Copies of this chain bind each other. A is one copy, B any other.
Amino acid sequence: MTTRHTSDDSGAAGAGAGDAVDPAVRAELSRLRESIDNIDAAVVHMLAERFKCTQQVGHLKANHQLPPADPAREARQIARLRELAENAKLDPAFAEKFLNFIIAEVIRHHESIADGAR
């Protein structure tokens, strides 16, 4: 990444990249960033809701001695999300990485629920 940082970077890092920038460009950047912030807020709330569901799954699994991980279910989820991503013009490889990132967190939760239920 350091190879990308050019001479304008030293000022930009401190002052928010705005000093020498055309006001129209700055306004366009702000507009896009506001959309990104709105989307991030939506995603955080979606993920909060998702973890509420997976916490319930975790308790169900712990109470009925089901294993925390379910490779067959995960394979189906990955195939489905890759297809959804493709239709939404999102890189399917990224969608898969994203799901694996979430599932790793969920399995950590399930393991600690299972440990608590012992």
Contacts and interface: CB of A to CB of B under 8 A. Distances in A.
Interface in A20-61: 21-22, 25, 28-29, 32-33, 35-37, 39-51, 53-54, 56-57, 60
The A interface, classified by DSSP as helix, strand, loop or mixed, is helix
Contact of A44 (B16, B56, B88): B88
Q: How big is chain A's contact interface, by range?
A: 35 or more
A94 B44 CA distance: 10
Contacts of A80: 37
Contact of A57 (B5, B33, B114): B33
Given A8-B67, A17-B72, A40-B84, 13 more contacts: A1-B111, A4-B67, A8-B65, A8-B66, A13-B72, A16-B73, A17-B70, A32-B57, A33-B73, A36-B50, A42-B46, A44-B81, A44-B85
